Amino acid sequence: MAKFSAFGTALLCNGSPIAQISSISGPSLSADTVDVTTHDSSDAWEEVAITILRTGELTLELVYDPAVHSALLDLYENKALEDYELQFPDDAFTAFQFDAYITAFEPSAPVDGALTASMTVKITGVPTLNATYTP
């Protein structure tokens, strides 16, 4: 089984890479469940059924450049639904493609550190996994 470095992973918004990303977490896909346990369930173990598939979020850590990242704040302020693609640096050029909104943007300016920002992107609709991209 192959192993891959995460270095080179990219998040594109409308086909353009988001600059200066230092870390990407997500998407945090999950499924809601409902308890369907009954009095005659075998062995008294809980039984569940899947209901809604949750699209989750991505969290980005950026080395923040206010001039470079101002377009991201514009998307946030305009409540803009955009096309995103999360590209992995594997041999198959695997990617997630999805529509999403920027739902949070938080700059950080520690006196002894770099100017950074944390950004959250909320997926809406069905994310497509295993789309391939051309490097």
Pairing of strands 82-87, 94-108: antiparallel
Do residues 76 and 102 lie in contact, with contact meaning Cβ atoms separated by under 8 Å? yes
Do residues 64 and 117 lie in contact, with contact meaning Cβ atoms separated by under 8 Å? yes
Domain extents in the chain:
10-34+45-132
CATH number of 10-34+45-132: 2.40.30.200
- Report how far residue 14's alpha carbon sits from residue 24's, in angstroms, rounded to the nearest whole number: 18
Q: What is the pLDDT along the chain (135 residues), one digit of tens a residue?
A: 788 999 999 999 999 999 999 999 999 999 999 999 999 888 888 999 999 999 999 999 999 999 999 999 999 999 999 999 999 999 989 999 999 999 999 999 999 999 999 999 999 999 999 878 887
pTM over 0.85: yes
**Smallest Cα–Cα separation from 59: which of 128, 11, 119?**
119
